[in-house]
Structure 1
Amino acid sequence: MRSILILFLLCSCGASPAPQFFNSERHEVTLEGIDFVVFRKGDRAEVVRLGYLGKRARDPVPRLMEEAIERTTGCRARPGSKVTGLPGDTGEARFDLDCPE
């Protein structure tokens, strides 16, 4: 039981990138009161929403994830490139980037 509690506490310490985003640029931004961490590596980005949101409060999150990418990286999320671990997930998403030359 004690090891489960320790594991839970370690996991709740903050956002960590997926393995393919290790050694990436890390950016933090707050939009409309919601905190996001953006990990950028090359022409890809992963966005992690921090904190708990009730079901109704999650509605703007997909739009805000894309805005978080643009604000922190200067690139746009490529339309149709969004991938989530679970369908409709608002906690984490990955995008291809479209960056100005």
Structure 2
Amino acid sequence: MNISTKAIVSNSEMIKNYKACREKAEGLGKIFILKNNQPDAVLFSITEYKKLSVFIEYLKSLDEKDIAKIIESLENEGNSINHSTLELISKIKG
């Protein structure tokens, strides 16, 4: 996963400047919060959260055959991280 340094904030910065961090998450879609220089949490904008929620609900609706088809497709391409939601859905519909 590639994370832009713009999207990283420290835990202490989050505590001290919540409003600024929230605005940053709105602009970037999400920010990653580090505690002791290690990933600790992610703050999503509501827009990004809604997208993820829809996708998660869609994944829950799939049967095992569809999931196996996705996994096989991703393994063949070698890099699942860079697939967009629309690419995954098009692979399922195949």
- The structure whose residues are more often strand, as a share, is 1
Q: TM-score, normalised by structure 1?
A: 0.21
Q: TM-score, normalised by structure 2?
A: 0.21
- The structure whose residues are more often helix, as a share, is 2
- The structure with the largest alpha-carbon Rg is 2
